[in-house]
Amino acid sequence: MTNVDATGTSAAPRELQRPRAAGRQDWTAWPEYNAASSGYRGYWYPVSWSSHITEDPKSFMLGGEKLMLMRDGGTIYALHDRCPHRGVPLSEGDQQFPGTVSCPYHGWTFKLDTGLLAAVITDGPDSKICGKLSVKTYAVEERLGLTWVYLPIGDEPPTSIDEQLPRELVENSGIIGGRIQPRQGDWRFACENGFDEGHAKYLHRTSLWRLFKPMPTWNITRIIPEGRWIFRVQDEVYWEATFPGVGTWTSKRWWKKTPDESKVSNIGNTGAGTEINPVIAAQNFPGFASLAMPGILRIAYPNFVHYEFYVPVDDENHRYVGLMVNFVSGLGKAKFYAKYLGAIRWLFHGQFSGQDAWMVEVTDAPPEKLYRPDVSLTTWRNLAEEEYTAKLAAAAEFAPKPVVRAPRERRAPAQRPNGSVADTPDQ
Ligand code: FES
Ligand SMILES: [Fe+2]
């Protein structure tokens, strides 16, 4: 007969019961990470496909800030999406003069490059308010077919976007297939899910992407740092396991490819043996999954690399930017793009990635009670904490300095005609 406890759940047999650990109640061990629910400032983030930014202003939310993006003379500009007059979004307006955007309400007109109020159409050419205020502008770059915006910490100059991008994407050309999706959930859950060591083998076992390829049951994995990245390095891979008192579990099936159980691969996750694209091989990635600030995931497969950028929108939403990059030229580009449109887009960036989106949406932590594979999560949090603390210290140099005034000299007390002394009020 099954024992049922006070909560209505079945009690585990005595031999499986373990003392309960308290677990982690909050993330205060990583104070900057804990505070970064709407993202880290001081980084570049992709907000849209470049081709989607036109002369018509568009609105985006990034890190809890409203942005207006539009193209003028071929260049993309980003301004804070709020007219200082009465708070109407500038993205609702349009262009009346070259190099500017006009608010739709009263025609306040701002220069796109500086944000300065250049004209107020409904106040005439001599408007006294012109030139006296401006809206915030943001640095913009176009890379990999995407529009990137720098979200500053304070007044610091933007960092180099090429130093933030994965180096192999800056140094090599290829063909990109990608997907941008608005998703619910904290960007940190999305990022942690991407690098999470334990989940793929179980959660994705039912995905169509893995229909003909089994997933391991469990691994022995190390996380190692290399430069600004951390890598998951697989030391041992187990394709099936017998769990004492429970039974045997594997995702191997008769219709799936038989994995080469004699080898452990750190490229792709289906075993060794496949020929590797020379650009990917030249990177010498120590592990097939790697992660860098501010939330860039890289998964290296033999013939392409998959990247995920987790873009913070606000406290409860993020933007998923998934890119599949194949480092080929000529006809190889057309072949890969056809494969992307015909299969990868739907199977990988669709259903497979949709399983991740589902988990990110329903995750509710902390509190949490972590297990051995979660070293992937804690190493990431340590990396984030360390890098961001150093970044804040570097940005502090650009913070406005408090004005230091020389101490006032105390004036000699004024003499009254009768010879008494009166205090002199400060002026
Ligand atoms: S609210 Fe923008 S011009 Fe009045
Ligand atoms: Fe996943």
Work out the mean pLDDT of the chain and round it to a whole number.
88
Mean pLDDT confidence for 271-282: 80
The average pLDDT across 369-379 equals: 96
For ligand 2, an ion, list residues with CB under 5 A: 200, 356
Residue 165 CA to ligand 2 centre (angstroms):
22
Distance 302 CA to ligand 2 centre (A): 18
Q: Are residues 145 and 190 in the same domain?
A: no
Confidence tier at 71 by pLDDT (50, 70, 90): very high
Q: Is 85 in the pocket of ligand 1 (CB under 6 A)?
A: yes
Domain that holds residue 225: 167-389
CATH code: domain of residue 360: 3.90.380.10
| 257 domain-assigned | yes
Same domain, 362 and 306: yes
Q: What is the dihedral of CA 261, 264, 268, 270, to 10 degrees?
A: 10
- Note whether 146 and 171 are same-domain residues: no
- Looking at the fold, whether 109 and 176 belong to one and the same domain comes out as no
pLDDT (average), residues 249-254 = 86
| Ligand 1 center from residue 39 Cα (angstroms) | 30
Q: Is the per-residue pLDDT at 40 higher than 90?
A: yes
Residue 159, in any domain of the structure: no
295: left (phi over 0), alpha (psi -120 to 50) or beta: left
Q: Which pLDDT band, with edges at 50, 70 and 90, does 421 fall under? A: very low
Q: Is the CB of 108 under 6 A from ligand 1?
A: yes
In this structure, are 142 and 81 located in the same domain?
yes
Q: Is residue 21 part of a domain?
A: no
Spatial distance between the Cα atoms of 258 and 212, rounded to a whole number of angstroms: 9
Mean pLDDT for 224-244 is: 95
Domain-ending residue, one of 94, 125, 151: 151
Same-domain status, 49 and 82: yes
Mutate which of 88, 90, 117 for ligand 1 pocket (most atoms within 8 A of beta carbon): 88
Give dist(CA 130, CA 127) in Å, integer. Answer: 6
The residue whose two tokens read 């792709």 is: 268
Nearest Cα residue to atom 3 of ligand 1: 106
Residues 74 and 206 in one domain: no
How far, in Å, from the CA of 145 to the mean position of ligand 1?
33
Do 188 and 86 sit in the same domain of this protein? Answer: no
Contact indicator for 253, 229 with CB cutoff of 8 Å: no
342: in domain:
yes
Q: What is the mean pLDDT of residues 175-192?
A: 96
DSSP 121: G
Number of Cβ within 10 Å of residue 329's Cβ equals 11
Angle subtended by helix axes 187-195 and 375-396, to nearest 10: 130
| pLDDT for res 407 | 61
Same domain assignment for residues 86 and 210 = no
Out of 151, 184, 201, a domain closes at: 151
Instruction: Quote the strand ranges of 170-285, DSSP E.
Output: 175-184, 218-226, 229-238, 240-243, 247-250
pLDDT digits (tens, 9 = 90+) for 323-370: 999 999 888 888 888 888 888 888 777 788 899 999 999 999 999 999
Q: How many CA atoms lie within 13 A of 375 on its CB side?
A: 14
Q: Which residue has the higher pLDDT, 263 or 241?
A: 241
Query: Would strands 175-184 and 317-326 be described as parallel, antiparallel, or unpaired?
Result: antiparallel
Per the CB < 8 A criterion, the answer to whether 299 and 288 are in contact is yes
Rounded Cα–Cα distance for residues 219 and 236 (Å): 5
* Burial annotation 267-279 (CB, 10 A radius, 16+ → b, else e): bbbbbbeeebbeb
Count: domains in the chain: 2
Same domain, 207 and 251: yes
Task: State the CB neighbour count (10 A cutoff) for residue 345.
Answer: 16
- 320 and 378 in one domain? yes
Residue 427 has pLDDT above 50, yes or no: no
Average pLDDT of the residues in 128-146: 97
Which amino acid is it at 54? T
- Are the C-beta atoms of 423 and 413 separated by less than 8 Å? yes
Q: Does 74 reside within a domain?
A: yes
**Can you give the CATH number for the domain in which 141 is found?**
2.102.10.10
* CA 360–ligand 2 middle distance (angstroms): 10
| CB atoms closer than 10 angstroms to residue 65 | 19
**Within this chain, do residues 136 and 235 fall inside the same structural domain, yes or no?**
no
pLDDT the model gives residue 361: 96
Q: Where are the beta strands (DSSP E) in 301-344?
A: 305-314, 317-326
Tell me: pLDDT of 24 over 50: yes
- Is residue 32 domain-resident? no
pLDDT of residue 343: 81
**pLDDT tens readout for residues 116-130:** 999 999 999 999 999
pLDDT at 120: 98
pLDDT score of 346: 81
Q: How far is the CA of 151 from the centre of ligand 1 (A)?
A: 25
Could you tell me if 79 and 137 are in contact, meaning their C-beta atoms sit under 8 angstroms apart?
A: yes
Rounded to whole angstroms, the Cα distance separating 126 from 14 reads 86
Peptide bond connecting 152 to the previous residue in cis, omega within 30 degrees of 0: no
How far is it, in rounded angstroms, from Cα 251 to Cα 263? 18
Q: How far is CA 218 from the centre of its chain?
A: 28
Token couple for 57: 């202003």
- Structural domain contains residue 37: no
Q: Which of 366, 383, 367 is nearest to 375 (CA)?
A: 383
R_g over Cα of the chain: 28
| Residue 374 DSSP one-character state | G
Place of tokens 């140094």: 171
Residue with tokens 């396991």: 241
Nearest protein Cα to ligand 1, atom 4: 106
Q: Which of 85, 102, 129, 133 to mutate to test the pocket of ligand 1 (most atoms within 8 A of CB)?
A: 85
In a domain, 225, yes or no: yes
